[in-house]
Amino acid sequence: MSPPLPAVLLIHPFTRLLRGDVTLPGSKSLTNRALLLAALCKDKVTLTAALFSEDTHLMVEALNALGFTVSANAEAGVIEVSGQDNGFKSERPVDLFVGLAGTAARFLTALCAAAPGGFYRIDGIPQMRKRPMKGLIEALRSLGADIRCTEAEGFFPIEIRAKGLRGGEVAIDASESSQMLSALLMVAPRAAKPITISTIGGVRWPFVQMTALIMRAFSAGNAPGVDRLDDNRFRVTQTACVSPGAYAIEPDATAASYYAILPIVANGVLTLCNLHPGLQGDTRFIETIQRVGLTAKPTQRGLEVSFSAGSSGHGVAENFNEFSDTFLTLAAISPLLSGPTTITGVAHSRKQETDRVAGMVRELRKLGQEVEEFEDGLTITPRPLKSGVEIETYGDHRFAMSFGILGCYDLHGDGRPWLSIKNPACCAKTFPNFFELLEAKRQESLSS
C-alpha cells in the first residue's frame, strides 16, 4: 500500500526525456455500468481489469447492501457479482451512500426504482446534493416509481418505495448528464412492458452509445439491446440481462488523457498500454492532441504518443461537448502552447463535482494566464507562468490530475518545483495511484 499523500503536494518537474510505457486503470464508466448489469443477471458475472477506486467501491458497497454478493480482489483486478436471487429481499429500509459518485447515484436510483419491492434511502456528500437528478427522477416517476425528495425537489437525498416500473413511453431530460439516460436504458429490461424513451434538450451521445454497446454484451446472442429510432428516441428491445461469464473492462480513456498529453509537457515518447479505440467516447481526445501538435500512433501494445524537444505545440479551438471530462486536461497545459486555446461545449460541467469552468478560470488566472470566461467555456491566452502557485482542487480529481501534469513542466530549466496541488488524495475517486505513477515515470526518465 502506498503512503498517504500530503495535504499539499509539490510537483517535481521532468528534467530528462520521457520514455517507456504506462498501464492505465480500468474505466470507471464501464466498471460501474458492468456492475449494474451484472446485478440484473441471473448468473455469476466476473469483471476483469476492473477499476478499484472510490467511485467503484461505493457501487460495490451499495450492491452488497442491496443483498447481492459482490467480492473484489484489487490485486488481481477482479470483481465477481453473484447471489442475484438475494437482491432486494430486505424487509427493513436500506440506506445507500454514494459520496460524490455521479454514476453510482444515477445508476442506483434507477436500479432501486425498478426493484420489485423494498424501501431505499439514497444520499451522498453535500456536493452530491447539488448535482442534477431531476430528469431521471421525473422519468422514473412517469413509469410508476414512488420517489420522494426529502429536501430539495429534484435532488438528493431521496426515498424510494419500490414496486417496479410499468414500461411504455417515457420522456427524459438528460441534457445535464447523459448518465441519467444511461441509467434508464440499463434498467428498462426490468419493466413490465417494453420502454420507448424520448430525450428532451439533447444528450451527449458517446456515453449513451457506450451504454448501448455494453448492454449488447449482456444480451443473449449479442442481440441489440437498444435501438436508436432517431436522434431523440430509443427503444429498449432487450428483455433480460444475460451473464457473459467474464467481461473485460477497457483501460480508462479519460484517465489516459493526462498521460497522453504528458509528452508535450516533458518531451519524449510514452506508450499507453492496451489503449485502443473501443467503447469510450473520450478516446476522441487523441484527435485533439494531434491538432495541438503531438504524434499519436496505434501499436499492438497500445497507443504511442510522442512530442519532439524543440517543437512547439499550438492552441486550438475545440468543442468538448461529447468528451467533456477531458477538457480540463487541455486547459491546464494551455499556457505551454503558442496562441490562444478556446474550449466550448462544457456548460454542463458547471454542475459536476464542482463548477469546472469557473474553477479552471480561477486557477489559470492565479498562474498569470489571460482567460476569458463564458457560459459555454473559456479562452486561454498564454502569458508567462507564475511560480510558487498552489492549485486549489475543489475536491475534484480532474483538477488535481490536470494541474499535476502541468507541474511536470521544467519552468525554471533546472528541475526546481514551482507548482503544488492541494488535496491530491481526491484522485482516489477514479485514479488512486495517479501521483505515484507520475513520480515513477519521472524517476524512470532520470535513470534512462
**Residues annotated as part of the active site:** 325
CA distance 351 to 1: 33
Neighbours of 372 (CB within 10 A): 12
Alpha-carbon distances, residue 73 vs 24, 50, 63 (angstroms):
17, 10, 16
The H or E element that residue 73 is part of is: strand 69-73
Neighbours of 178 (CB within 10 A): 24
Give the position of cell 454497446.
Answer: 213
Task: Write the DSSP string, 275-342.
Answer: --SSS-GGGGHHHHHHHHT-EEEEETTEEEEEE-TT---B--EEE-GGGGGGHHHHHHHGGGSBS-EE
CA distance 448 to 258: 22
Asked if residue 250 lies in contact with residue 278, where contact means CB atoms within 8 angstroms, the answer is: yes
Asked if residue 430 lies in contact with residue 25, where contact means CB atoms within 8 angstroms, the answer is: yes
Q: Is 423 helix (H, G, I), strand (E, B) or coil?
A: coil
Asked if residue 181 lies in contact with residue 208, where contact means CB atoms within 8 angstroms, the answer is: yes
Q: Is 365 helix (H, G, I), strand (E, B) or coil?
A: helix
Asked if residue 357 lies in contact with residue 394, where contact means CB atoms within 8 angstroms, the answer is: no
| Nearest alpha-carbon partner for 35 in 51, 19, 11 | 51
The one-letter code for the residue type at 141 is R
The DSSP 8-state label assigned to residue 3 in this structure reads P
CA distance 418 to 1: 28
Asked if residue 389 lies in contact with residue 419, where contact means CB atoms within 8 angstroms, the answer is: yes
| Nearest alpha-carbon partner for 42 in 279, 250, 239 | 239
